[in-house]
Amino acid sequence: MGKIILASASPRRRDLLAQIGFEFEVVTSDTDESFDDSMLVEEIVKKLAFEKAKAVANQVSVDSIVIGADTVVYYEGVILGKPQNEAQAKEMLAMLSGNTHQVLTGFAVIRLSDNKVVIDYEKTNVTFRSLSEDEIDIYIKTKEPFDKAGSYGIQGLGATFVSGINGDYNNVVGLPLCSLSQCLKNEFNINNI
C-alpha cells in the first residue's frame, strides 16, 4: 500500500485523519497559496490542495501516498481567510453573524508509484445565530479566531455561534472524512475499516 503522508501542518487535520484509524506521517512544505481571483471557489480549493500534495510528493519516497487539503470559508462571493488582526476578525464575524456561509475543503491524493492523482472537494453550509458586538469582542480576546479561516473554530468556542449545519461537520474542521475515506477506498483500495 505504501506510506500515507499528510501534507499539512494543521493539528486539526492530523487529529481527524488519526480519528478514522489511518497510520500516517506528516510532511509539510511552504506552498504558495495565492490564486487567480477569477477562478471558482471550488477550483481554488482543489488547486491549492493539489499544490500542497504535489510539493510534499517531491520530498518523499516513491512508495508514498500523499494527501493534501485546503479549506476556505466563503460568503457572498468572498473567500474569508485567516484574519491578520483584530479588526479583520471582527469584520468577518460581523459578516457571518445571522447568516449562512459555505465551508469548502479541497483534497488531493497522489500515489507516487504510478502517479495516480484524484482531486475533489466537499462543501458544507454553516448558519450562525446573530452575534452581539460584545460576544464578538470577547471571542476575539480568546485568540481562537487568529489561525482559523473565517475567524472561528467550530471545534472550539466558535461552536456556540453555529445554529445549523448542512453537510459534513468534519469538513468545517478541515478534512471531509466521509469523502476522503471513500476516495481512498474506491480509488486507491485503502480501507480504514
- Cα distance between residue 34 and residue 65, in whole Å: 25
Count of domains in the chain? 1
Residue 58 belongs to a domain: yes
**What are φ and ψ of residue 84, in 5° steps?**
-90, -20
Residue 193 belongs to a domain: no
> What does the pLDDT read at residue 113?
94
Residue 116 belongs to a domain: yes
Sign of CA dihedral 53, 56, 61, 66: negative
In tens, the pLDDT along 17-35 reads 999 999 999 999 888 777 8
Structural domain harbouring 180 = 3-188
- Cα distance between residue 154 and residue 62, in whole Å: 36
- Best CA proximity match to 144, nearest among 133, 155, 134: 155
Residue 49 belongs to a domain: yes
Residue 140 belongs to a domain: yes
pTM for this one?
A: 0.93
In tens, the pLDDT along 78-118 reads 999 899 999 999 999 999 999 999 999 999 999 999 999 99
- Best CA proximity match to 66, nearest among 106, 33, 110: 110
> What does the pLDDT read at residue 29?
83
Catalytic residues: 70
Residue 67 is part of a domain; what is its CATH number? 3.90.950.10
Which grid cell sits at 84? 491578520
Residue 156 belongs to a domain: yes
